[in-house]
Amino acid sequence: NAGVTQTPKFQVLKTGQSMTLQCAQDMNHNSMYWYRQDPGMGLRLIYYSASEGTTDKGEVPNGYNVSRLNKREFSLRLESAAPSQTSVYFCASRGRSGEQYFGPGTRLTVT
Amino acid sequence: GENVEQHPSTLSVQEGDSAVIKCTYSDSASNYFPWYKQELGKRPQLIIDIRSNVGEKKDQRIAVTLNKTAKHFSLHITETQPEDSAVYFCAAKRDNYGQNFVFGPGTRLSVLP
């Protein structure tokens, strides 16, 4: 039981490049989330998916798109990366009792 | 929408002392309040949570108290140890209403040996 996994762990992009961050969970959870974490700002919600086939915007969705590929997988895409998107990205899933389980994170640098 | 404030932003205590971190929330309908611990370079991990139908919950050296009237909840760590050094985040959510958790900005706790 791996919990929540994310790939890649590290990534460096040039401004304007695109990439997709992958997330998968094996806990059969319905809800999945993407957050970004910047120094001194806690965790901010980018997008979430309440169930397979649905996605909704969070607090900071601009510049991102998501796909809930199936119940296990929820990907985050940056179409044209900007330096302001330099951050640590966490995927999470939510259990029946409400608790969130986080993946190990992706450290993204945009130059 | 919900807004969560957290104080202090940094906290240093001597090993063996107690540490208290306080969060306030704005949405009186919020009823689920988790606390997460994040060690350097690691993912946030749930350490304790409380729902609005109880005022206090304990788990060994960790406790959380909730004051619904004042809309604040606090994390209490007793007999602190160096391995308690980390960033702690509080969050608030309304159960069965949307999916959004709102997190506080975090408290960096340092336990000095």
pLDDT of residue B52: 83
Distance to chain A for B94, nearest Cα, Å? 10
Closest to B107 measured CA to CA, from B29, B12, B28, B33: B12
Q: Do B93 and A98 touch (CB under 8 A)?
A: yes
d(CA A41, CA B1): 17
Nearest to A99 among B34, B104, B105 (CB): B34
Residues of B with CB below 8 A from A39's CB?
none
Check residue A40 and give its pLDDT.
Answer: 73
For the segment B44-94, what is each residue's pLDDT rounded down to a tens digit? Answer: 999 999 998 889 999 999 999 999 999 999 999 999 999 999 999 999 987
Closest in A41, A50, A102 to B44, CB measured? A102
**Phi/psi of residue A41, nearest 5 degrees:** -120, 10
Bond from prior residue into A8 cis (ω within 30 degrees of 0) = yes
B82 three-state secondary structure: helix
Strands (E), A38-86: 43-49, 56-57, 64-68, 74-78
The number of beta carbons lying within 10 Å of the beta carbon of residue B108 is 16
Provide the CA A26 distance to its chain's centre, in angstroms. 16
Q: Measured between alpha carbons, how far is A98 from B76 in angstroms, rounded to an integer? A: 22
Per residue in A93-109, pLDDT (tens digit) is 998 888 899 999 999 99
Q: What percent of chain A has pLDDT over 70?
A: 99
pLDDT at res. A97: 80
Q: 3-state DSSP helix/strand/coil percent for chain A, to nearest 5?
A: 5, 50, 45
